[in-house]
Structure 1
């Protein structure tokens, strides 16, 4: 008859043996795939331990001591003193070992072995000493290694940022120091403020000054998954101007947060939207009153609505609300139904002197493949003294019959078309005639452009022609301009220069970020430069006059072997300033336990992966960095005084698998999960030979299969390309089942800002915090908990009370799954 103590051995033996079976099956599969032999060897140790426990033999502890010691040696060989990779390899092994040395197990051994020990004494004591002490020693060694790893940061780069350089000439672009007139503060897109009231020695005193809620939340009928609150507000005069996910425009008092006016553009329903967002508004100062002037009496009730455009029936901006006969200053709002609306910043009235009395431009004019919602500007437009320059996003990976990615310039006063640049027909920039259409499906610019009016150029980041992962039918012009930054002449729209960041892009490596313009001191001379972040982690530093690299760019061999009827380029460009991570190895796979780490290793070995630029395949390709991007639309911040970049690199691997299509109607990757209403069937690629399955590379538990850190902050010298410091950033508090604030370094989506006070700010990490950092060394100095995800770029300004404010938008991101909200939060130092 079994005793409770022997039942302990039986249950523990069965559980440990079953663990051994699982490790044996998975480990053998991994070895067959060419992977590590550790797992089948560990499986043998688990099985032996389990069977010896079932037999009630103390030798089980000896065997398991060997398992613990062997696991520790293997973990150190693969991961070194890096805590999270060590934990994934040893957590289960260590916990099982701890259980085996508890009294429940050791006393059971004593109960089954009560014969006198040879040489006298009590065998119940010697049994544990002979078997339990080696296991205890092995566990102690593992614990000491774990403790040592808590005090090491192998991924950290330490260093200091130099002080302001002699000869540096920051450009104000006529924006007052306490204001923020464009998405990146100025048309240069630097995301740098000359304000210096907030400094490293007082930033810890920042506190909430006011909070405003817009009332606009994601989750309405017809919203796509990626409905996001990504706006960076403008600060003009004493007012803030922002837009909401569903495209309302709001003016607030910048010092108190009180609402002044709100405009609803009455967005058309039933849109084929892939994204629903508004990243910001654009501002033209005009020649009249400032944005803070009193509401003029010229605002009147709307007249009868003029007829809608023949190309595309649309709501009319002036049909419901105030109208101003003539706006001097203007706010420009791009809408999800394909309009660009001009508003009076004084009172939100529609500007009747724009768009032929309608107060809007119809962006569907001359467009091919008209499909409501499949084209619109998710990002703020570029405004110059005389022009508005507009790009737009098209549906990604839905079909080969999408609208054009044309770039157009309109008169800032009247809204008349001045020129159009179509990458499918790049030489002809004169406006099209009625009835003509732009090149369908051409590369588009969904991100933010920058402009240098003194040089007479607008700098446009371009994406890819859909479908992203197959390019067998691309034209020579598409291959020339895809995934590049293009400098267009402001007067004519003609190409001044083009720099391609990826040749024949098959990885959705769109150029996602606004180019940042900065004057660099190189060999004692001031050189106008352009800094272009990319999804693959390169930061290209170019002479913005010519597009020639200021930091070296070399062509490196790339993996070959594209899908049927496609090709790959033999080389790809690599910059001297690069945050491209090292290629993944099997030993880089990770998990919460030894078991999901094993499953990730098996998945890694089954995928096609030969490093960055491994072509998409029907087998399934590991894409690293993934199309989430090392850098995305948030871009970077550059300091024109110190001539550095503050960057927020993110590292996540993705999977890409081509699925052959036999027809242009069947749903190959969505099956019966066709989106409701008019929302598009993403990744089906109707008209192409392949659909595509895209996903993050995660384990069955939903954790990334690659080891952390997944997100950093970093600073680099723009004149030398040297990374000055790099620190992991953010916690998994809001991304794990339990709210554990483990500082693992997490992804972010939303850009940083820097200030002349020496403090940088970032709110875009997937944990709900805004943080402040010392620019000189990267140390985190301050953080504040947000009520929702902060996936937007902050900004800073001066209020009427003389205080410097930090403004953060917290609304969440649908695709990332961060907490939804409608918050605009202003922080300031205490009043003195």
Structure 2
């Protein structure tokens, strides 16, 4: 089946006559049929331009899903010696019986969708280590010109979909440098998209991943000409003077502030010519003395003109974010019945567990929202915004308040430890700001739902979303730039950098954790210093770029000395020079120098779990759940636990688990979802939440499933992470037996 993904349309205005309304109804029926044909083979990330994660396929259904079994496996086999198990988050697309996906290392593969046999591959890193999160690729065609558009590192590539060869007329021999067109020096920054762009007419619209630290790049959203690679328009998520939202920042913030990036992907209403984005928090995530104000368009659902990038409307979900409460998934474009009328709307999931349902044309909420007072910050220089928006309906799909009865009770000593910790932290409910005392954050920054987003079934009005209940600890420490590192050996300088920026993810012992933060012990002999430095500067996996931290040779030498355990690195006479380089702000603009003179605070326990002394979750289960929400009424159809930790299970109720990958819903009456640490892939009855099927996987599959038909058979396909035997992971396809 041919997937005509490039949609050409014109935005026009028409009088609302009865004849026009009838014509529009007929057009809608035709458009629905055309959409079903175009997307039945999952030709776009998350199924379609509306990010529905819905498939009209029903060959696999409630009655036969129990018979579904493995059909084929594709293994990229692109690991490099010394690699540990890799995790791929790619949501494959399928065009004319060819599956396109990326590996955990970031290479592009075209695979026969019937057999899983490799057709071709492309390495954007020219044999280098590569890596970095990639959640999928984008397809565009015009007649015989068929292209795969995807990113590798900080480059955008256009690849011939038939041959796997770069298209030389696009950019510089098939590639575009994404560092160009940003605020910073292209040779000194690295912006790396993690989610695929979206195509509108002859434009590829692309977000990006930027650092979340001081000195981060702004989160520009940019549109490139699909044919030439030329930059066509830029939407500034940190507004320039004269643009909407500029007054919500200090007057020079556009020169130095960063973040507010749309890293989770986009949704598109092609008939209206409207692009919808959801943005993350401004940088630095946990302290905002240099960005006083509401900080538009951070943490916002934003609608823009897809042809021009011009602003249409916005809705901000968190004002002046201090909690890393990114909107991490693209909005779902939905049609709901509200007050007796059909309304095109936008449904936005969140980390705090609120679901925002907004009119697609105006951005106004379909359900009541209250601005409520929230706790003030007690950190010098910080001005937390005094109120935050609280939707009254639907009810939150994540627990939002804790008291002592919610603390886990594995044993008397464990319970006593957790109660003592709980009482030692500042905690006044949702939106309690970070503090130097230590703040209990709930939901945590990994709470609610993540980049996997939700799935929407237009035939029922039900939206399906996973949730995760997990508190975190925020502990701020003041860091003085001018004397952060003084009178230390090169090795100790590196240790100080590590303890400031790295310890919260990789641990004080450098052993990492099971949540995708790898061990850094024993790097010597299994990875080169050059590869480590590239990873630090470019980011990869869950790790953002730290190019804004490792800004000179001195810092490079210091962090490498520490990571590679070279305690004797450097000579005394060299150390004086290195210290001067580290403590100088060479080449900075007057605005940046002024901002850099401010005191800074860092969250030393960023992403730090609230756990007992044995590493067990500090609150009672369920920790992970799957929900079905009726968007017509705002009521819940059902909620069930998702995932299990058998060693912590008591009774018959499963515990639920963390996960970021989202669900897929089908006309066969099923919701498919993976992304749990118990390495299972499951199918639920979409009407009742009853679990109808599950299968064990060889690795952790933290990705969204795709489904398609090929050679008359429906397949469910999923990217699966690696294990000790196959570190590169695999793509696994499931179907009914012949």
1:791 has 2:702 as partner: yes
Deviations 1:12-40 (A, max 9, x none): xxxxxxxxxxxxxxxxxxxxxxxxxxxxx
Deviations 1:500-535 (A, max 9, x none): 011111000011111111122334432111110011
Match of residue 76 from structure 2: 214
1:253 has 2:112 as partner: yes
Counterpart contact for 1:623–1:656, Cα < 8 Å: yes
State the distance in 2 between where 1:740 and 1:270 align: 46
Match of residue 278 from structure 2: 461
State the distance in 2 between where 1:818 and 1:510 align: 35
Match of residue 96 from structure 1: none
Match of residue 419 from structure 1: 233
Deviations 1:768-812 (A, max 9, x none): 000000001000000000000010000100111x11111121116
Counterpart contact for 1:332–1:341, Cα < 8 Å: yes
State the distance in 2 between where 1:183 and 1:446 align: 14
Helix, strand or coil for the counterpart of 2:296?
helix
State the distance in 1 between where 2:424 and 2:601 align: 20
1:448 has 2:448 as partner: no
Match of residue 46 from structure 2: 184
State the distance in 2 between where 1:270 and 1:425 align: 36
Match of residue 809 from structure 1: 719
1:586 has 2:499 as partner: no
State the distance in 2 between where 1:617 and 1:449 align: 34
Are the structure 2 counterparts of residues 470 and 185 from structure 1 closer, same or farther at C-alpha, using a change threshold of 3 Å? same
Deviations 1:395-428 (A, max 9, x none): 223xx22223111111111111111111333578
Superposition deviation, residue 484 in structure 1: 0.7
1:776 has 2:635 as partner: no
Match of residue 580 from structure 2: none
Match of residue 279 from structure 1: 135
Match of residue 200 from structure 2: 384
State the distance in 2 between where 1:818 and 1:484 align: 42
Deviations 1:189-221 (A, max 9, x none): 000000011111111010111111111358857
Superposition deviation, residue 392 in structure 1: 0.4
State the distance in 2 between where 1:819 and 1:602 align: 43
TM-score, normalised with respect to structure 1:
0.68
Helix, strand or coil for the counterpart of 1:538?
coil
1:567 has 2:567 as partner: no
Match of residue 644 from structure 2: 731
Counterpart contact for 2:212–2:284, Cα < 8 Å: yes
Q: 1:614 aligns with which of 405, 425, 432?
A: 432
Match of residue 826 from structure 1: 733
Helix, strand or coil for the counterpart of 1:276?
coil
1:334 has 2:151 as partner: yes
State the distance in 2 between where 1:371 and 1:483 align: 29
Counterpart contact for 1:170–1:641, Cα < 8 Å: no
Superposition deviation, residue 705 in structure 1: 0.5
State the distance in 1 between where 2:436 and 2:725 align: 32
State the distance in 2 between where 1:527 and 1:639 align: 15
1:627 has 2:445 as partner: yes
Unaligned runs of 5+ in 2: 1-27, 244-253, 486-495, 511-519, 521-528, 538-542, 550-595
State the distance in 1 between where 2:52 and 2:203 align: 21
Counterpart contact for 1:591–1:703, Cα < 8 Å: no
Helix, strand or coil for the counterpart of 2:418?
helix
Superposition deviation, residue 626 in structure 1: 0.4
Counterpart contact for 1:370–1:403, Cα < 8 Å: no
Counterpart contact for 1:421–1:428, Cα < 8 Å: no
Match of residue 556 from structure 1: 372
Deviations 1:297-323 (A, max 9, x none): xxxxxxxxxxxxxxxxxxxxxxxxxxx
Counterpart contact for 1:751–1:762, Cα < 8 Å: yes
State the distance in 2 between where 1:561 and 1:588 align: 25
State the distance in 2 between where 1:526 and 1:786 align: 42
Q: 2:675 aligns with which of 742, 764, 779?
A: 764
Match of residue 289 from structure 2: 472
Are the structure 2 counterparts of residues 562 and 786 from structure 1 closer, same or farther at C-alpha, using a change threshold of 3 Å? same
Counterpart contact for 2:448–2:467, Cα < 8 Å: yes
State the distance in 2 between where 1:528 and 1:217 align: 45
Superposition deviation, residue 447 in structure 1: 1.0
Are the structure 2 counterparts of residues 380 and 204 from structure 1 closer, same or farther at C-alpha, using a change threshold of 3 Å? same
State the distance in 1 between where 2:186 and 2:242 align: 22
State the distance in 1 between where 2:308 and 2:378 align: 38
Deviations 1:34-85 (A, max 9, x none): xxxxxxxxxxxxxxxxxxxxxxxxxxxxxxxxxxxxxxxxxxxxxxxxxxxx
Once the two structures are superposed, the pairs formed by residues 103-118 of structure 1 within 5 Å of their partners are none
State the distance in 2 between where 1:218 and 1:417 align: 34
Once the two structures are superposed, the pairs formed by residues 745-764 of structure 1 within 5 Å of their partners are 745-764=656-675
State the distance in 2 between where 1:587 and 1:597 align: 10
Counterpart contact for 1:810–1:821, Cα < 8 Å: no
Are the structure 2 counterparts of residues 812 and 589 from structure 1 closer, same or farther at C-alpha, using a change threshold of 3 Å? farther
State the distance in 1 between where 2:268 and 2:309 align: 13
Are the structure 2 counterparts of residues 268 and 824 from structure 1 closer, same or farther at C-alpha, using a change threshold of 3 Å? closer
Unaligned runs of 5+ in 1: 1-166, 289-327, 430-436
Counterpart contact for 2:125–2:152, Cα < 8 Å: no
Counterpart contact for 1:765–1:790, Cα < 8 Å: yes
State the distance in 2 between where 1:812 and 1:452 align: 37
The number of residues matched between the two structures is: 602
State the distance in 1 between where 2:177 and 2:686 align: 44
Counterpart contact for 2:238–2:258, Cα < 8 Å: no
State the distance in 2 between where 1:417 and 1:785 align: 45
Are the structure 2 counterparts of residues 538 and 175 from structure 1 closer, same or farther at C-alpha, using a change threshold of 3 Å? farther
Match of residue 501 from structure 1: 317
Deviations 1:722-776 (A, max 9, x none): 011111121115xx59999982111222010000111010011121000000001
Q: Once superposed, what is the RMSD of the aligned Cα atoms?
A: 3.0
Q: Larger C-alpha radius of gyration, 1 or 2?
A: 1
Helix, strand or coil for the counterpart of 2:99?
strand
Helix, strand or coil for the counterpart of 1:351?
coil
Are the structure 2 counterparts of residues 650 and 726 from structure 1 closer, same or farther at C-alpha, using a change threshold of 3 Å? same
State the distance in 2 between where 1:286 and 1:762 align: 34
Superposition deviation, residue 553 in structure 1: 1.8
Counterpart contact for 1:270–1:372, Cα < 8 Å: no
Once the two structures are superposed, the pairs formed by residues 539-688 of structure 1 within 5 Å of their partners are 539-575=355-391, 576-577=393-394, 578-663=396-481, 665-666=484-485, 667=496, 668-669=499-500, 677-678=532-533, 679-680=535-536, 687=596
1:410 has 2:217 as partner: no
RCO higher in structure (CA 8 A, sep ≥6): 2
State the distance in 2 between where 1:369 and 1:464 align: 23
1:396 has 2:203 as partner: no
State the distance in 2 between where 1:270 and 1:788 align: 22
Once the two structures are superposed, the pairs formed by residues 365-384 of structure 1 within 5 Å of their partners are 365-367=180-182, 368=184, 370=186, 374-384=190-200
Are the structure 2 counterparts of residues 610 and 691 from structure 1 closer, same or farther at C-alpha, using a change threshold of 3 Å? same
Counterpart contact for 1:529–1:542, Cα < 8 Å: yes
Counterpart contact for 1:369–1:440, Cα < 8 Å: no
Are the structure 2 counterparts of residues 184 and 427 from structure 1 closer, same or farther at C-alpha, using a change threshold of 3 Å? farther
Deviations 1:151-210 (A, max 9, x none): xxxxxxxxxxxxxxxx99957536535301111111110000000111111110101111
Superposition deviation, residue 442 in structure 1: 4.0
1:266 has 2:125 as partner: yes
Counterpart contact for 2:261–2:280, Cα < 8 Å: yes
Superposition deviation, residue 597 in structure 1: 1.7
State the distance in 1 between where 2:280 and 2:265 align: 12
Counterpart contact for 2:398–2:468, Cα < 8 Å: no
